[in-house]
Amino acid sequence: MFRVSVALGLNRPLVVRTTLVGDPGDLLARLPAAAPYAWIRHGEGMVAWGEAARVAVPPGPRRFEWARDWLSETFGEAHVDDDVGVPGSGPVAFGSFTFDPDAQGSVLVVPRVVLARRDGRAWLTTLGEERLDLVTPLRDPGRIRYGDGSLTAPEWEHAVARAVGQIRSGRLEKAVLARDLTATAEREIDVRLLLSRLARRYPGCYTFSCAGLVGATPELLVRHTGETIESLVLAGTASRGTDEADDMARGAALFASEKDRYEHTCAVESVREALAPLCSELKVPEEPELLVLSNVQHLASPVTGRLSAGASVLDVVAAMHPTAAVGGTPTETALGVIRELEGMDRAGYAGPVGWIDARGDGEWGIALRCAQIEGRRARLFAGCGIMGDSAPAAELAEAQAKLRVMQYALEG
């Protein structure tokens, strides 16, 4: 039987203790510098640090099932003393899965310390010896130099044009093409500083950090609480206006756009098809709403459901990923076009990122508006939904607007 010894170096089960604590204030301000984990929205959620256990999830079509089984065994053997008993208390694992199921890089981490707050209650979970690491001042990375990623801007526009051609030929209806950008800082990049800037600037997004993947995603893939699940489908984007009147006009144009409405419909239908077999009830709005963020506007559809069986949140993630919002329609054809035209490994970009507890509850987003951080280097990502009437220059401008989220986080 598997024993958790990956990080502890001990051949024994985890010992977990969760207790209520006073309001910790700014959760992100409590993070030490080393390997921080975070899932924060509107100041609530959880931060974590240290590694009680860590595993590289083998790639392949059964990776989510493998991850669920590993967690079931790991958490099942743990000695848990939980005074709180809510989603996110007791042992918790953070995870990041690659977009491509065949790519290496998916990871699950059980942190050593978790500090959480939700609905007026705060709690602390420790695994093994209790030790709150020393919090040091945030470090500015200094000057940032940017460079092309896998494709230059003209090359990426050419890839968009090729995708448009394949859509018009009838091969597929939609393909989501991603673009990456490299960044090099003068000094080592402090993930905590990026998290702080992102949470302050984009409070309505899910600010996350897991194994070096850092970002603020507006897209909730799934929230699992007991038998209830929630998802927020985003597809169709417009930039913010220069003033209130321009802003409203752009929002109205987005809502009226045949191209964006059809793109959104494709995304909603892919979620409906994924969730329907798992749910005894499923509510999907007939019309999208407008989600206004500080840099862009999205067409959004909140979806809710009730699971017909006691499935883990990872079972739901497995059924939903990849949605049409980050892959395309039909899915398998779109994934082939992505591999053909993007010229890069997306790594964790547009893959599921989030947390899961021992009950199978959790929250998982799609890793958008994010960067992979390694020392002084960062790799920034953005993507656009390409349809038959997409204009390459307009799609490039949209990608650049999305990249500015992480550029702001790096530069302040």
89 contacts: CB under 8 Å, gap ≥ 6: 18, 82, 116, 123, 125, 357
List C-alpha distances in Å: 391 to 49, 346, 397. 44, 23, 10
Identified catalytic residue from 219, 263, 363, 398: 219
Q: At 387, which amino acid appears?
A: M
Nearest 5°: phi and psi at 76? Answer: -65, -30
186 contacts: CB under 8 Å, gap ≥ 6: 141, 142, 143, 144, 376
Residue pair 339/331 in contact by the 8 Å Cβ criterion: no
Helix axes 392-411, 191-201, angle to 10 degrees: 120
Active-site residue flag, 174: yes
Active-site residue flag, 219: yes
The residue whose two tokens read 């890069």 is 344
Q: Give dist(CA 300, CA 207) in Å, integer.
A: 19
Q: Give dist(CA 55, CA 179) in Å, integer.
A: 28
Q: Give dist(CA 231, CA 301) in Å, integer.
A: 8
- Report the 10 Å Cβ neighbour count for 130: 11
Identified catalytic residue from 51, 174, 263, 342: 174
Distance of CA 378 to the CA centre of its chain: 17
Q: In which element (H, E) is residue 313 found? A: helix 313-320
DSSP per-residue letters across 180-242: EEEEEESS---HHHHHHHHHHH-TTSEEEEETTEEEEES-EEEEEETTEEEEEEEEEEEEPPS
Q: Give dist(CA 234, CA 296) in Å, integer.
A: 12
The residues assigned a catalytic role are: 174, 219
